Amino acid sequence: MKAEVIQSLLEKAEEARKKSYSPYSRYPVGAALMAKDGTIYAGCNVENVSYGAALCAERNALGSAVADGQRDFTAIAIIGSHEDYTMPCGICRQVLSEFHVPLIICGNSSKDYRTYTLEELFPSSFRAEELKH
């Protein structure tokens, strides 16, 4: 993936992070998901006092993309608010694996990032084949 495309995804993730609703964790996260057709879908975390009802930035972006009819993706960029790289949680890894998102870009800014494949972060995901009788 070209550096300019990664940079664009990271910038969109940073913009989305600014819209985060995270009064409980105080850990705003933004994500930007690129569909194969080049469309970018942004998402931010939306927390809830019951914690379990919170929505992660990655699933927020993916939900918007799926609602728009997208099913094939190129990459997702995720940016948190601390100096460490923000990795997707286990639930987000499972949801991203449903759509075989090939590249995950984690950063603490649009200038500092690392790239991973989904298989590197989630080598033994639960797959649809396991539901076959």
The pLDDT-based confidence of 133 (bands split at 50, 70, 90) is low
Residue 93 CA: distances (Å) to CA of 41, 49, 78, 99, 129: 17, 23, 12, 10, 17
- Say whether 113 counts as a known binding-site residue: no
Report how many domains make up the chain.
1
Q: Is residue 73 part of a domain?
A: yes
- Say whether 50 counts as a known binding-site residue: yes
Q: Is residue 127 part of a domain?
A: no
Q: How far apart are CA 65 and CA 75, in angstroms?
A: 12
pLDDT of residue 81: 82
User: Structure pTM?
Assistant: 0.92
Q: Which residue range is the domain that position 101 belongs to? A: 3-117
Q: Is residue 131 part of a domain?
A: no
* CATH code at position 42: 3.40.140.10
Q: Is residue 84 part of a domain?
A: yes
Q: How far apart are CA 62 and CA 88, in angstroms?
A: 13
- Say whether 45 counts as a known binding-site residue: yes
Q: Is residue 80 part of a domain?
A: yes
List the one residue out of 112, 110, 14 whose CA is nearest residue 57: 14
Task: Please list the active-site residues.
Answer: 58
Determine what percent of the chain is predicted with pLDDT higher than 70: 99
Q: How far apart are CA 67 and CA 81, in angstroms?
A: 27
pLDDT in tens, 40-96: 999 999 999 999 999 999 999 999 999 999 999 999 999 998 778 899 999 999 999
Q: Is residue 132 part of a domain?
A: no
